[in-house]
Amino acid sequence: MKNIVKGSVEGVDVHRGWFIGHFLNDPFKTDAVEVKWGVHKKGELRPQVAANKTAKTVSVLVKGKFVFRFPVEKKEVVLEQPGEYVFWNNGVYHTFEALEDSVVVTVRWPSVENDQVILN
């Protein structure tokens, strides 16, 4: 493995936008963290409501307008300004929708196999 690697995540869909985590190959394979460069078109939404059993998550808006919905808590968080973020703990069910063309960086830790559960 090289000690220094240059690349770009823009336009690359390594694993639905996830480019660091337990499910990838070196040099991006790790159990410590998952990182996603999420490029979402206006109107894109995640139809399933899911939670992570172990991992905590933070999502940071790079551009656009994006809403996260937390149905069990009956809460919505709209990210409108670059740099705004939302954090949620493990066990919190969530879904999302792009209100405008958006880019969102999501970090989840730790990176655990089969950690996500879908709300029925």
d(CA 110, CA 104): 19
Distance separating alpha carbons of residues 70 and 75, to the nearest angstrom: 5
Q: What is the pLDDT of residue 13?
A: 52
Which of 28-42, 55-69, 75-89 is least confident?
28-42
Model pLDDT, residue 11: 57
User: Which residues fall within 8 angstroms of residue 108, CB to CB, at 6 or more apart?
Assistant: 21, 33, 34, 35, 36, 52, 55, 56, 57
Q: Summarize pLDDT for 4-59 with one digit per residue, the tens.
A: 878 888 755 566 788 888 888 777 889 999 999 999 999 999 999 999 999 999 99
**Domain layout of the chain by residue ranges:** 33-118
92 φ, ψ (degrees, to nearest 5): -95, 120
Q: Which CATH number fits domain 33-118: 3.30.300.30, 2.60.120.10, 2.30.40.10, 3.50.90.10?
A: 2.60.120.10
pLDDT value for 17: 82
Consecutive H or E run containing 76:
strand 75-79
DSSP assignment of 45-75, as one string? B--S-EEESS-EEEEEEEES-EEEEETTTTE
